[in-house]
Amino acid sequence: MAEMSYRTALVTGATSGLGRGLALWLARRGLRVFAAGRRVSQLQALAAEAQAAGATVEPVELDVTATDATLERIRALDGECGGLDLVVANAGVGGVTHAKRLQWERVKAIIDTNVTGAAATLSAVLPQMVERRRGHVVGVSSLAAFRGLAGHGAYSASKAFLATFMESLRVDLSGTGVRVTCIYPGFVKSELTEKNNFPMPFLMETEAAVDRMGNGILRGEGELYFPWQLALPSRLLKVVPNPLFDAAARRFR
């Protein structure tokens, strides 16, 4: 694929963690970055940090679960900036959804953000990118997408949806000039993972994970998995027979 130059980017879920780090990483490399999220004060702090480094980050108040407003806002940004080159659907939430104590409210909250919100974010600008014959859409899935993790059915399923959605987009958009990347992080230090009360093998520092994401995006990689120590067994689990997987999952739980 031909090299692509990036001028503008939108990153959702930019108030903390990977989204915040990636927004700053891209801005420091000369992109005009629209950092989207619900917590405006944290976005403003990010913008100030970027400005101090001579970079440009513009806060965008956005709740991806409000899909009509999300579509309208992203399309408006696309028009205002002369076309978004890069859109990263990073906003995501987690939480326990154990089948023995299943709460629809928790399941719905995960689906609204990780599935509906992500799909709306990517759908908002794809037609314009195809028309311009340039652009790049990125979905941040998870290594949890490969099998249904014990106690986290809604989260695993939501990330599996995004992975499959991105795969279909990649196939459909071949030859259009629009790039598609799906990222599968493992455990990364963030607000999301600090709430976990279970072992997190090969936990990565945020900065190291962001660097891998940023470089993978700019290289135009179709898929990106990290850390390899967790990515390899996670992918192999896909072909493990159900009885073996179920027994292992129960022990981990």
Task: Identify whether 43 is part of a domain.
Answer: yes
pLDDT of residue 230: 81
**What is the pLDDT averaged over residues 187-214?**
77
Give the active site residue among 6, 155, 184, 225.
155
What SS3 string covers the chain? CCCCCCCEEEECCCCCHHHHHHHHHHHCCCCEEEEEECCHHHHHHHHHHHHHCCCEEEEEECCCCCHHHHHHHHHHHHHHCCCCCEEEECCCCCCCECHHHCCHHHHHHHHHHHHHHHHHHHHHHHHHHHHHCCEEEEEECCHHHCCCCCCEHHHHHHHHHHHHHHHHHHHHCCCCCEEEEEEEECCECCCCHHHCCCCCCCCECHHHHHHHHHHHHHHCCCEEEECHHHHHHHHHHHHCCHHHHHHHHHHHC
Task: Identify whether 2 is part of a domain.
Answer: no
CATH (domain of 127): 3.40.50.720
Task: Identify whether 80 is part of a domain.
Answer: yes
Q: Is 184 marked active-site?
A: no
pLDDT at 143 over 90: yes
- Domain assignment of residue 215, given as a range: 8-252
Reported as a single tens digit per residue, the pLDDT across 83-119 is 999 999 999 999 999 999 999 999 999 999 999 999 9
Reported as a single tens digit per residue, the pLDDT across 26-68 is 999 999 999 999 999 999 999 999 999 999 999 999 999 999 9
pLDDT of residue 189: 78
